[in-house]
Structures are given as structure tokens and as C-alpha cells.
A = this chain, B = another copy of it.
Amino acid sequence: MAQKPSLPKGVRDFGPEQMFRRNYLLDTIKGVFKKYGFMPLETPAIENLSTLTGKYGDEGDQLLFKILNSGDFLSKTDASDFEAGAKELSKKITEKGLKYDLTVPFARYVVMNQNDITFPFKRYQVQPVWRADRPQKGRYREFYQCDADIIGTNSLVCEAELMAMVNEIFCKLELKDYQVSISSRKILEGLADVIGATDKFSAFCVILDKLDKIGLEKMLEEMSQLGIPKSGLDRLTAILELEEDNTDKIETLRKVFIGSEVGIEGLNEVETTLKHMTSLGVAHDKTHFDLTLARGLSYYTGIIYEVKPTSVKMGTITAGGRYDNLTGVFGLEGVSGVGISFGVDRIYDVLDELNLFPSNQLGSTKVMITNFDETCLEHALGLSSRLRNNNVNCEVYPEPAKMKKQLGYANKKNIPFVVMVGQEEIDTNIYTVKNMEDGEQHKQTMLELIDFLATQ
């Protein structure tokens, strides 16, 4: 008996409707990447486990999909390997895995091709990655990442350009309601300095990051337990209650951060980035200098930012920051860079919820030509060829079928126009064009028809 097919948990098919929408989304993003001089890169799905392991922490290591060695994968094992358990055995029977993100393969690429790359190197990469996570709503085992990075320069122009790209991409996607939060890791270090938490930096950040969830009072309580003095906490409270605009906030903090060199550096970074953004024509109304922003502190070393929609309940849809040492783990020191990652699945859901996908996304076919019998068919094929020569996407219904069936097909495929080709049309060279949206019909000569459809 034939098997009933199924998909593994956590992976998805993208049918035509989703593909049209995903392509609209990804093509918009890629178009802006190119506008700013980013170049495409693709790395393979399969990497050596030696490249991947140890780069994502213990939890990440456990989420790597490992590929069983080909052929007799047991040839180099014996019973003792089996007895040592899954973790030990896996080292002997797997050498390759599926990539977990785009950053580590990018770093590997840069190191392997360092002599051929022109720095500063601006690359974008839009590819699937794989994680053996427990699948749940919005979390998949195979999903696309969409990254742009500039490496080989410390210039804050890069940060500002990435922000300008965010602005342009969401503008093109007509997503108006979002907020960009921007800060620097150095701002957090400055904060820690001035409240007496310099030596408790990580723990301080973890608690600060919970502010939104647990509220000010509970946050202060936890910080107090951490050993931060009351005077420090009072100072922190005052700082967090600042409701000034970005420029004033920077000025106020210049006074607060006196004595913390790193804090002042952080302020300079944010200030310069905002200045460049202004030069790039980015209005500041969506940009919020957020002192509590604390993301990716295990790898980000400078400016950090994240984007959240404000009219839809959804987490971060885009985020990134500057890192000091992308390629050090592969032996190439001193390569600083800054990157951004667009959360494709989440942005898709936001556009869907706000009804922002262009209509008529199901098909790219503009016109279907009917097929009534053998004579009409040859004529229809000739017409289709002329239309395609004029760059009109079209289809001939492949079988002679009842009108209703053919129109139903065009309808389901969202094809906006149908051209009828019967004996009368062949004799007179005047065609009937049906607008599938309003049902109206018009008669047109071949040239009129081509003109009409080529400009629709």
C-alpha cells in the first residue's frame, strides 16, 4: 500500500502564494542591500562540525543537526564507543552538520578568502539555517536568515547606513509603525561604572534587561541583592526616568558619565551615529536612544540596535550591532564589523496581519488564452508567442475544455485577463478580452490587445 506522506516537524513547504509574498519581501530587502553597495554571498548548507561546534555555547552545540557519515559509518568504532553513549559515539560517526546561522560560515568564508577580499567588505546573505529546537508557533527547525554585514572598518558610517537601510526597507514595505531602539554596549558599561556595578557587569545587564517584564521596583530589589549600593540605585532610577529626546539625553548623560571613559565613548558613538543618520536623511522620530537595551552582550562590543513594530504584538523584527572580533576564532584577528539581521518570518507575519502585501500576489500570469479545439489552439499558441515577445506573461489553457472550467482555472490562479479565441475571432482577427475582476468584455485587434496587455 502506498504510504501517506508527511513533513518532519518544524519544517515547511512554501506554496505559490507564500512564495510570491516571500519573494516580494526578500526582493525588497535585497534591493535596498544592493542600493547601499552590499554584495551577495552564499555558503553551503553543510559545514564541518569542527567549524560549527563551540561557537554557539553548549545549548547551541546541542541544537546542531549532525549528518551521519556516509557508507560504513561504524568502521572506525568498536563496542566501547557504543557503550560510551550517544554524545561520545556521535563524535565518531558524524563529521558534518547543517549550518546554524549565517555568521559563523561568513567568518569562515572571510578567513579562507582573506587574500581575495576587498576590505571594507559589504556582504549580504539570505539563506536557510537549521536548529534542532523544539518546534512551536513561530519557531521552526528550518528558517531563513537575512543578514547584511560590513567588515574591516570601525567607521560609524556603517551603523548609520544600516539604520538608513532599515528606514528604506520598512518604508518600501509600507510598514509605518515601528520603533528603532539604539544604544551601545559601552553605555551599559558606563551605567555600571557610575552606579558601582563595574565588577558585576553581566549580572547587572541581565537584571536591567528584565525591566520591561518585572517593573522598576522588582528590578531595583534584584540589583540590591546583587550588592549594588543604594546610592547607585538612586542614581540609576534618576537616569532611567529621563524622558528627554535623544540629543538632550546625550547631553544630560555627559554629566552623569564624567569619570567613566567607556561611558563617554558610548555617548560619542550614539551621537555620531545619529548625526550620520541625519545626513543620510533618516528622520529621528522612530529612533529611540534606549539606555536599557542590552542584547547580544556576549559578542557585541559597540553600537547595538533593535526594531520592533508598534501596532502589532510581536517581538523584535530586526536587530544587530558591532562586534570586534568576528574571525578571531578562525585565526584572523582584528576584523571589526557591524551587522544587521532581518527576521523574515516575523516581518512576513506583521505584513500579513496589517494587510500590507500587494494584492494580486498569487500569480504573475497576466492573461490566459482559451482553448476550444485544435484549430483555435494553434491560433492561441501563436497569439501567446506574440504576447510573450512583448513581455506579457501568459498561458494557453492546455486542453480543449468547457468555458466554465477554463475561466475557473484563470480565476483560481488570480489571472486578471482572459482572451477568447474561437473561430469568429480567428476569422475577424478581433479578440474578446474579459476582465476577470469586473467581468467586463471588450473587443480588440491583435495590436490593440498587445498594447493593452503590455501596459497593464
A interface residues with partner B (beta carbon < 8 Å) = 1-8, 11-16, 19-20, 23, 34-37, 39-48, 50-51, 62-63, 65-68, 70-75, 79, 82, 85-86, 89-90, 93-96, 98, 108-109, 111-113, 116, 118, 120, 122-123, 128, 130, 132, 141-142, 150, 153-155, 157-158, 160-161, 164, 168, 275-276, 279-281, 328-331, 363-365, 368, 371, 377-379, 381-382, 384-386, 388-389, 391-396, 398-399, 409, 412-413
Shortest CB distance A89–B (Å):
7
Report if A168-B388 is in contact (Cβ < 8 Å); known contacts: A48-B7, A398-B150. Answer: yes
Report if A381-B66 is in contact (Cβ < 8 Å); known contacts: A36-B388, A395-B36, A412-B118. Answer: no
Return chain B residues, CB-CB under 8 Å to A160: 381
Q: Which 5 A-B pairs have the closest CB atoms?
A: A37-B395, A2-B331, A16-B39, A279-B381, A11-B44
A8-B46, A68-B68 known; 18 other A-B pairs, CB under 8 Å? A2-B328, A2-B329, A5-B330, A8-B44, A11-B44, A13-B112, A14-B40, A16-B40, A45-B98, A71-B86, A75-B86, A118-B412, A118-B413, A120-B409, A155-B399, A276-B378, A279-B378, A279-B381
Return chain B residues, CB-CB under 8 Å to A48: 5-8
* Residue of B with least CB distance to A413: B118
Residue of B37, B73, B108 near A5 (CB, 8 A) is B108
Report if A47-B8 is in contact (Cβ < 8 Å); known contacts: A16-B123, A86-B73, A363-B39. Answer: yes
Shortest CB distance A53–B (Å):
10
Complex alpha-carbon distance, A48 and B279, angstroms: 52
Complex alpha-carbon distance, A166 and B44, angstroms: 28
Pair A382/B123 contact, Cβ less than 8 Å? no
Complex alpha-carbon distance, A75 and B82, angstroms: 11
Shortest CB distance A163–B (Å):
12
Q: What's the number of copies of this chain in the assembled complex?
A: 2
Q: Name 29 interchain pairs, CB-CB below 8 A, sorted by A.
A: A6-B48, A6-B112, A7-B47, A7-B112, A8-B44, A12-B44, A13-B44, A13-B109, A13-B112, A36-B393, A36-B395, A37-B365, A37-B393, A37-B394, A37-B395, A45-B98, A45-B142, A62-B71, A65-B70, A67-B67, A72-B86, A120-B409, A155-B399, A157-B377, A157-B396, A158-B398, A275-B378, A279-B378, A280-B382
Report if A20-B40 is in contact (Cβ < 8 Å); known contacts: A48-B8, A90-B73, A279-B382. Answer: yes
Pair A34/B364 contact, Cβ less than 8 Å? yes
* Residue of B with least CB distance to A109: B13
Return chain B residues, CB-CB under 8 Å to A47: 7-8
Complex alpha-carbon distance, A65 and B71, angstroms: 10
Complex alpha-carbon distance, A68 and B161, angstroms: 42
* Residue of B with least CB distance to A168: B388
Shortest CB distance A115–B (Å):
12
Pair A5/B279 contact, Cβ less than 8 Å? no
Shortest CB distance A185–B (Å):
20
* Residue of B with least CB distance to A14: B42
* Residue of B with least CB distance to A51: B5
Shortest CB distance A287–B (Å):
16
Pair A111/B279 contact, Cβ less than 8 Å? no
* Residue of B with least CB distance to A94: B68
Shortest CB distance A68–B (Å):
4
Complex alpha-carbon distance, A3 and B55, angstroms: 12
Return chain B residues, CB-CB under 8 Å to A11: 44-46
Complex alpha-carbon distance, A377 and B276, angstroms: 9
Pair B150/A385 contact, Cβ less than 8 Å? no
Report if A5-B112 is in contact (Cβ < 8 Å); known contacts: A19-B41, A73-B90. Answer: yes
Pair B3/A330 contact, Cβ less than 8 Å? yes
Complex alpha-carbon distance, A197 and B142, angstroms: 51
Pair A16/B3 contact, Cβ less than 8 Å? no
* Residue of B with least CB distance to A131: B70
- Among A155, A275, A329, A412, the most chain B Cβ lie within 10 Å of the Cβ of A155
Complex alpha-carbon distance, A85 and B75, angstroms: 9
Return chain B residues, CB-CB under 8 Å to A3: 50, 329-331
